[in-house]
Structure 1
């Protein structure tokens, strides 16, 4: 009887763990889409640009989330986040036109905050 209860408890724990992970991924996807939709309006992205920016933003959020989970201390985390931010900026610059990138630059801090807020919800 105790073995059955232990197996049942283990199964429930796994179910909760997988459900929580799936919900977190849904929140990241939902947040990424919301921010990218705002960028589409703000920057007048065409469909091709939108798809690329969506993927860039999604990758960015996943890397930030992983970095926060794996970082040992604040200094290490800050260095990793700087590298992740620089990578995102370079990728966005390659997708956006010069004018779009200037507009993006003006609202860069707000867009980053919106993306990072997606991780905290």
Structure 2
């Protein structure tokens, strides 16, 4: 009887842990999706995106945020992470270049450069 209870308790515990793992993964996916939509909405306003561009920008942002999350979670050294982040940013920019018009992309690049400048000033770099 005790053996049966132990097995049942173990199964219940494993099921509970699986539930929490699935819930946590779903919440992370929701956070990434929400972040991608927020960024795309801001871009839609600033760059005057059409509906098709908006949808594509959301997809690019989701992929970007997922890769950033994975990069941060990796056990790599800071220089290795920085190198990966540079590649991730270049990939995102290339995808945006294919989605946005030339004028929109120039404005995107300008805003991004300004934000990067402000970030460096704030960080004292």
TM-score by structure 1 length?
0.84
The Cα RMSD (Å) is: 1.8
Which residue of 2 is the match for residue 73 of structure 1? 77
Q: Distance in 2 between matches of 1:43 and 1:6?
A: 54
Which residue of 1 is the match for residue 31 of structure 2? 27
Deviates more, 1:41-50 or 1:101-110: 101-110
1:108 aligns with one of 100, 106, 112: 112
Please give the secondary structure, in 2, of the residue aligned with 1:107.
Answer: helix
Ranges in structure 2 where 5+ consecutive residues have no aligned partner = 117-125
Which residue of 2 is the match for residue 87 of structure 1? 91
Ranges in structure 1 where 5+ consecutive residues have no aligned partner = 113-121
Q: Distance in 1 between matches of 2:15 and 2:77?
A: 34
Shift of 1:20: 0.6
TM-score by structure 2 length?
0.81
- Give runs of aligned pairs for residues 32-47 of structure 1, distance below 5 A: 32-47=36-51
Shift of 1:55: 1.0
- Relative contact order, CA 8 A, sep 6+: which one is greater? 1
